[in-house]
Amino acid sequence: MKAIVQDRYGPPDVLEFGEVEKPAAGEHEVLVRVHAAAVNARDWHLMRGDPYAARLVLGLTRPKQRIRGTDFAGRVEAVGRGVTRLSPGDEVFGEAEGTFAEYVCASQDVVAVKPPGLSFEQAAALPLAGSTALTGLRDLGRVRAGQRVLVNGASGGVGTFAVQIAKAFGAEVTGVCSARNADLVRSLGADHVVDYAREDFTRGGPRYDVVFDLVGNRSLAGLRRALVPAGTLVLSGGGVSEGGSLFGPLGLLLKGRALSPFAGRRRLLVLTAEPNRENLEALAELVERGEVSPAVERTYRLAEAAEAVRHLEVDHARAKVVVTV
């Protein structure tokens, strides 16, 4: 099968369009014919082996997982003997390693039925970014109706979902983004938009019940200043950084985790989102109710996956970028 493979760390040129062996479904897995796969900041960091400390897990000199990509949408081609929920022909979406390929195997526990109203491209945009936003706001932020929520990085892949999910929960939402993305963020339901180049939300201005930081470009002290006395700060290091550092966005997350027990009335929480079917089904329900709609900025063919990652890395892509297979 055709796939995007990587045998060394480096710039997008290390991503090669090649031929690899087609996988076979294990006992509790489904084999999916991939129709679309989303590009995430995770792919950029894995491609670069950045931050360097992450190579202790990813592979010291080259990535352990050769095929890039995490999100997918497609049709089930075959199922393992232990699979009970899905059948060949089902249209599905989910998370797995190695989705920039014609086929991928995934555990049935991280796959859900695709909402019928979504295209494969839209469905592929949902899993990682949507689950991250859902976990950060519902499980950690405990967002409820009437609260004031600020999303720092509102025009990015996770941010576009976070704005919509916070609105679905009944919150008053402020999105922080660049001026060029202000209209996009408003169109997703944000009540207020802050241009980060003109205004620092951590210095004066309103205070928020929940601050969801997806960028890591503000100090912890500043982010906490933006909270009401009993507010919650949720940190997620999912954004694209300049790279070339030892810890990168992990530094802020590690610091946040260390300081969390001493945060007092202000809760300081670090987000770690694990793929699971329950989150995917919750996202599908929000989609079917018309409360969440994946925003896709651009699509690329599988052979152009390196350019798709380059666009995310260099051009600071808005919303989601998707590879079609």
CB 323 within 8 A of CB 37: yes
CA distance 304 to 21: 20
**What secondary structure letter does DSSP report for 110?**
G
CA distance 280 to 284: 6
**Residue 233 β-bridge partners:** 211, 268
Residues 6 or more apart in contact with residue 274 via CB below 8 angstroms: none
Most confident of 29-33, 213-217, 258-262: 29-33
User: Which helix (H) or strand (E) covers residue 161, if one does?
Assistant: helix 157-168
pLDDT computed for residue 119 by the predictor: 97
> Which domains, from first to last, does the chain contain?
2-126+294-324 (3.90.180.10), 128-270 (3.40.50.720)
pLDDT computed for residue 113 by the predictor: 98
CB 196 within 8 A of CB 218: no
Query: What does the pLDDT look like over 208-240, one tens digit per residue?
Result: 999 999 998 888 899 999 999 999 999 996 554
User: Which helix (H) or strand (E) covers residue 160, if one does?
Assistant: helix 157-168
- Please state the pTM of the whole predicted model: 0.90
Query: What does the pLDDT look like over 286-308, one tens digit per residue?
Result: 999 999 999 999 999 999 999 99
pLDDT computed for residue 100 by the predictor: 98
pLDDT at 251 over 90: no
Angle between helix 277-288 and 157-168 (nearest 10): 70
